[in-house]
Amino acid sequence: MNIEHRYAPDPAAVFASALSLWQECQKQANNDENLNLSESYNGLDEFMREIMRVATHFETWACQHIDFDELTDVWPYFLEGKFGEKCLSAIFPTALAAFDESDCLRVAMQMRLPIIHDGKLPLPVDLTVPNPAADSPFKQFRIQSVRNEIEGENISPYTWDDEPFDANFDAPYFALYGVGEDGLLEHIADRKTCAEAVNLVRKIAPGVKFHEFDKSSSPSKQTTPPSHSVV
């Protein structure tokens, strides 16, 4: 099945996101006397149009990139409770007109959503799997997303709490480590994609299992299907 066409946008989800974002914008405006939403958008009607555009854009993006089978919460309820706050962590309430694909990823990461790992997005990865070979010095293998600092020689882990498009770093890549019985890591190789790193482990240790990678990328795995329309 082509995952990009698996789900149709849910009007209830769009409404929930728009309501959540509206309420969070109003909350910030009430707490900041310098924030005038009507003036920022040439009237509240234009502000409401931008609210709806952002909500529709995110829902359309989510239908292409989120593994809804991994959610435990009913999708519209989850959005109503989380979307507004996380959205305004990624973009200012006066800049909704600039909300785009990159902001969709930022919000999804902050909401800790299970994003489909198809190589199209710069997703954080931290996978540790047991080594099926009992006689190996490595008891586990670990694949971790890392980034090189542009100005400097530092290599930093790329995690779910990081900015995915940080101008201070190069594009993320994937470091493969062997984990000894003492828990110490030994660097084995770097690969451009997580799939390449997974394939290398499978060559080193035939029979190794990567169940989480085979499904989606998420900081925590969830199991109950949500209420969402399937096409």
CA 131 to CA 210: how far, in whole Å? 11
Q: What is the pLDDT of residue 224?
A: 30
Task: Decide: helix, strand or coil at residue 176.
Answer: strand
Q: What is the pLDDT of residue 4?
A: 46
What does DSSP assign to residue 56?
Answer: H
pLDDT attached to residue 114: 93
- Report how far residue 99's alpha carbon sits from residue 19's, in angstroms, rounded to the nearest whole number: 17
Domain ranges in the chain are: 3-110, 126-215
Question: Beta strands 173-180 and 155-157: pairing type?
Answer: unpaired
pLDDT at residue number 153: 84
**Rounded distance between C-alpha atoms, residue 18 and residue 50, angstroms:** 9
Sign of CA dihedral 121, 195, 130, 181: negative
So what's the pLDDT on residue 209? 86
Q: How far apart are the first and last CA of the chain?
A: 11
pLDDT, mean of each 10-residue run, the chain (231 residues): 62 98 95 90 94 97 93 95 96 95 96 89 93 91 96 92 94 96 94 93 90 57 35 32
Residue 222's pLDDT is 33
